[in-house]
Amino acid sequence: MRYTTLLLLSRFVIATFALSLPAMPINAAPLSVERIFAGPDLSGPQLRDPKFSPDGRYVTYLQGKDTNKDQFDLWAFDTRTGKAKLLVDSSAFVKGTEHLSVEEEARRERQRTASLRGIVEYQFSSDGKKLLVPLGGDLYLYDLAARSDAALSNATKQLTKTDSYETDARFSPHGNYVSFVRDQNLFIIDLRDSKERSLTQDGGGTVANGVAEFVAQEEMGRNTGYWWSPDEKRIAFTRIDDAPVQEIERLEINADTANVFRQRYPATGTANTLVELKLLDLASGKITPVDLGKDDHYLARVNWFPDSTHVAVQKESRDQLRLDLLKVAADSGAITTLLTETSTSWIELNDDLRFLKKRAAFVWGSRRSGFKHLYLHDLDGKLIRPLTAGDWMAVGEGEDAVVGIDEAKGIVYFMANEASPTERQFYSTSLDTRDPAKIQRISQEAGWHDVRLLPGAGGYLDLWSSPEQPPTAAIRDLKGKANHWLVRNALDDSHPYRPFLADHVKEEFGSIPSADGQALYYRLLRPAHVEPGKRYPVVFDTYGGPGVQYVHKDWMGGARAAQGYFRQVLAQHGYVVFTLDNRGSGYRGERFESGIKNQFGKIEIADQLSGVEFLRRQPFVDPERIGMMGWSYGGYMTLMALTTTNAFRAGVSGAPVVDWTLYDTHYTERFLGTPAGNAAGYESSGVLSHVKSLHGSLLLVHGMADDNVLFAHSTKLMQRLQTSSTPFSLMTYPGGKHGLIRIPQTGRHFYEMVLRYFDEKLKAS
């Protein structure tokens, strides 16, 4: 459910550098759900996972095909020539439909990339001369120096060709090896002689090496289970064993088959996967275990010290109230505790640990002040000084904030919401600052920025959008001035969204106070053509859960652009569309977020009702025709709104958590504790105890193969509604996973169905 890591989930949609589209009339057709999922992408051709080459010359990126916006090829933009070129065409290596292994499908589902095909990840070698490209289950090495436009095969070498899937592939730090996981074991290929070597042999059954367990991927933002030392002499890796985890029978219903899977699912209050950390010496093959203790804990993060002598391990307690940063000797496994973070609510994980190479110190991210900020510590863990401070958060797309560090100049570059909780801006501060509240803003434009620092810290790639501007890309200097525009993405006659501008509804942003006086930010769209004196139905577009922010000042919601365009469809069909980030949602600090501790669905719904009262005061709103829609936690919110209030006439609940005792350990226990320790909180937070009070019409939607919010949640609700003779509507998707609304076929069907449902339930007098 958690959408952290969100760097993996974000897409930057920008116009191709050499793109030439025919001019389009400004009012060719009304915006439709069908067009949202068709190509070319309404925001412009997609750019994904942009990276600088190590020498800073190229910006490489993944871009969807004109004929299939969800099949990605690898492109590069040459900053010297100002031209873009196709490096690797995915269709040259994968013919026809690409079929994923079960493990890779699950991994992509965790990373929210299950709907994508072609090249979905890649990596530069440290010298910048080669690219590693996983494609179709095998690994390819792409030699930039040997590239010939006439013969792609001259530049590409296939490293693996097996029936098994190679996953989590990467170069070693010096580029001498390629490492990967296959069949639950960790492998390397020595690129000097092309010899393959299995580093572990005991993977199989419930045991896997070098992989992240389910909750680490789904809830902790950790998608790997192995880490190279900087000198590439050692690898730290996990050995996981799912044997302690309870087995459940999960029915996965597809269009023509029904399969029962015995799945190891760590439901809240039950045993987690056994995770061991080991250190492998590459030359000798010796494996040294790291004794992290017998207490119940999570292996949160692993990093190497720059000199490769020690490993930094972040160990989180099972109750998530304590996080220890440990220093582990690489040769012996001996452990020293560097620092400890504690919380009375919960610990939020981040990846802002940065070791300095020229100073005996590291940068560390912490919420110890009540807001996420950056701190400088020495190598014994002692605090040197805070680097940032204030009633705002050092955060980027998710909890992570640090963009880079220029040690020569003593500057830390980071992202923050200091300007506004609805924006992300780029900042710098000194490693030697005397006033942590005094920071320097670099980015200038209001809206949402995401940044990649140029190698050598001589500038940055700025990916920026706003509610009025589709995503752009520019290389800027460190004062924010654009030195080289890669993409302007102007809404001119060639832009894919141009035909729909005439009916485009401008988003309005504002805030209303919560019961305790905190600002609740909202996004509002009025109907496209408001008639004076007429009142219109309302649709609340809701998520509302922890760790997520829905109200962004960006283009169409950024990574959730399909939902953003659907808000436009609703507005153009005569609806007021309202989105509000209630207390408990992400990136606002301890006071704002921690009110959900020990009980879900109370203050969140109270804040949504504040939104209802705000709308009822607007002369264009019909207070008797208000609906709500949401997916995942938003689906849960919709059910709670319909069962604990009388404010909503209709709701669409997608993939909802109905019974929190069925959801996983790391997410649920972070907020509710365990069922044994907080039985009352689980009872009041669940939907089932409120079902008899259902008010209004309900459309329940769920994928029949969902392995995140299990289909069992909705079946329990169906039975309870049926036994109480409560009418409701239902749509299930055979084979549908948790991310089915991002897949073109099921996504289109879902949104068209939602539009029809609200037309039936809210437009009728």
pLDDT at 5: 30
Evaluate the omega torsion of the peptide bond into residue 40 and state whether it is cis, within 30 degrees of 0: yes
* Residue 574, both tokens: 């005569």
Residues contacting residue 681 through CB under 8 Å, at least 6 positions apart? 598, 599, 672, 673
Mean predicted lDDT score pLDDT of the chain: 91
In this predicted structure, the answer to whether residue 398 has a pLDDT above a threshold of 90 is: no
Q: What is the end-to-end Cα distance of the chain in Å, rounded?
A: 37
Q: Is residue 613 part of a domain?
A: yes
In this predicted structure, the answer to whether residue 360 has a pLDDT above a threshold of 70 is: yes
Q: Is residue 286 part of a domain?
A: no
Out of 248-257, 318-327, 627-636, which region has the weakest mean confidence (pLDDT)? 248-257
Q: Is residue 332 part of a domain?
A: no
pLDDT tens for 83-93 read 888 888 887 76
* Residue 765, both tokens: 């007098």
In 3D space, the residue among 428, 621, 456 whose CA is nearest the CA of residue 538 turns out to be 621
Alpha-carbon distance of 584 to 514, in angstroms, equals 12
Last residue of a domain, one of 173, 196, 227: 173
**Arithmetic mean of pLDDT, 132-150:** 79
Q: Domain of residue 719: give its range.
A: 507-762
Last residue of a domain, one of 173, 200, 223: 173
pLDDT tier at 2, thresholds 50, 70, 90: very low
CB 288 within 8 A of CB 278: yes
Active site residues: 632, 706, 738
Q: Is residue 258 part of a domain?
A: no
Q: Is residue 436 part of a domain?
A: no
pLDDT tens for 447-457 read 999 999 999 99
Residues contacting residue 256 through CB under 8 Å, at least 6 positions apart? none
**Arithmetic mean of pLDDT, 367-372:** 98
pLDDT tier at 103, thresholds 50, 70, 90: low
Report the share of the chain in percent with pLDDT over 70.
92
Q: Is residue 684 part of a domain?
A: yes
In 3D space, the residue among 150, 154, 156, 5 whose CA is nearest the CA of residue 74 turns out to be 156
Domain total of the chain = 2
pLDDT tens for 271-284 read 999 999 999 999 99
Give residue 91's Cα distance to chain centre: 27
In this predicted structure, the answer to whether residue 463 has a pLDDT above a threshold of 50 is: yes
CB 536 within 8 A of CB 505: no
pTM of the complete model: 0.92
Residue 649 gets which letter from DSSP? S
pLDDT tens for 371-391 read 999 999 999 999 999 999 999
CB 592 within 8 A of CB 582: no
pLDDT tens for 35-79 read 999 988 899 865 788 999 998 888 999 888 777 777 888 898 888
pLDDT tier at 648, thresholds 50, 70, 90: very high
Burial class (CB in 10 A: 0-12, 13-18, 19+), 215: buried
In this predicted structure, the answer to whether residue 8 has a pLDDT above a threshold of 70 is: no
In 3D space, the residue among 520, 609, 509, 507 whose CA is nearest the CA of residue 563 turns out to be 507
Last residue of a domain, one of 115, 149, 173: 173
Which secondary structure element, helix H or strand E, spans residue 685, and what is its range?
Answer: helix 679-685
pLDDT tens for 545-589 read 999 999 999 999 988 899 999 999 999 999 999 999 999 999 999
pLDDT at 11: 32
Between the alpha carbon of residue 471 and those of residues 44, 47, 487, 495, the distances in Å are 8, 10, 8, 12
CATH number of residue 674's parent domain = 3.40.50.1820
pLDDT tier at 203, thresholds 50, 70, 90: very high
pLDDT at 569: 98
Residues contacting residue 269 through CB under 8 Å, at least 6 positions apart? 661, 665, 669, 674, 675, 676
pLDDT tens for 305-322 read 999 999 999 999 999 999
Alpha-carbon distance of 491 to 470, in angstroms, equals 8
Q: Is residue 469 part of a domain?
A: no
Q: Is residue 427 part of a domain?
A: no
In this predicted structure, the answer to whether residue 159 has a pLDDT above a threshold of 60 is: yes
* Residue 646, both tokens: 């009388």
pLDDT at 87: 83
CATH number of residue 35's parent domain = 2.40.128
pLDDT at 147: 57
pLDDT at 299: 98
pLDDT tier at 222, thresholds 50, 70, 90: very high
More confidently predicted of 71 and 663: 663
Alpha-carbon distance of 74 to 86, in angstroms, equals 6
Residue carrying structure tokens 């809404």:
491
- Could you list the beta-strand ranges (E) of 199-296: 207-209, 226-228, 234-241, 247-253, 258-264, 274-281, 287-290
Tell me which amino acid residue 152 is.
Answer: L
pLDDT at 322: 98
pLDDT at 251: 76
